[in-house]
Amino acid sequence: MLKKHTYTIAFVSWMILITCLSLFTLPGDSDIPGFDIPNKDKAAHFIFYFGALILGCFFLREQTNGTLRRTKAVLIIGISVIIYGIIIEVIQEVFTEYRTADIYDALANCIGALAGAVTIKLLFSGKRPLKWKI
């Protein structure tokens, strides 16, 4: 039963993870030792939304058994995750005291989603493509 909904579970879990990491600060978050990488926050935004678009497309493919065209699935998920990212930035500004909205975070989200769209295109086209229809 769960195997039939693998991408649905993965996509919903991924979006819950993004929401939690965006709105809550983990205890001792700033005390974590490590490398001082410039713009690591923006890289995290890119990765999260790259993954969201890819998992979202597989989710739609799974839910529609591949009957929804790949281009339409990418467009639906792309617009959805970009709007979601903007809403999260606004919520951070309005409802939290320790987070602020950042236009560059939203831009990193959009670039990550765009890179995810290109990746989906590459996965389902070319010499040895994955099959969109299930």
Which of 8-22, 25-39, 69-83, 98-112 has the weakest average pLDDT? 25-39
Distances in whole angstroms, Cα of residue 14 to Cα of each of 19, 34, 49, 52, 124: 9, 25, 10, 7, 22
| In contact, 11 and 59? CB cutoff 8 Å | yes
Residue 26 confidence class, pLDDT cut points 50, 70, 90: low
Q: What tokens does 73 get?
A: 């699935």
pLDDT per position as a tens digit, 112-123:
999 999 999 999
40-72, pLDDT tens digit by residue?
Answer: 889 999 999 999 999 999 999 999 999 999 999
Confidence of residue 10 (pLDDT cuts 50, 70, 90): very high
Q: Which of 2-6, 9-13, 16-20, 59-63 has the lowest mean pLDDT?
A: 2-6
Q: What are the structural domain ranges in the chain? A: 2-22+40-123
Q: What is the DSSP string of 6-70?
A: HHHHHHHHHHHHHHHHHH-PPTTGGG------TTHHHHHHHHHHHHHHHHHHHHHHHHHTT-S-H
Model pTM?
Answer: 0.88
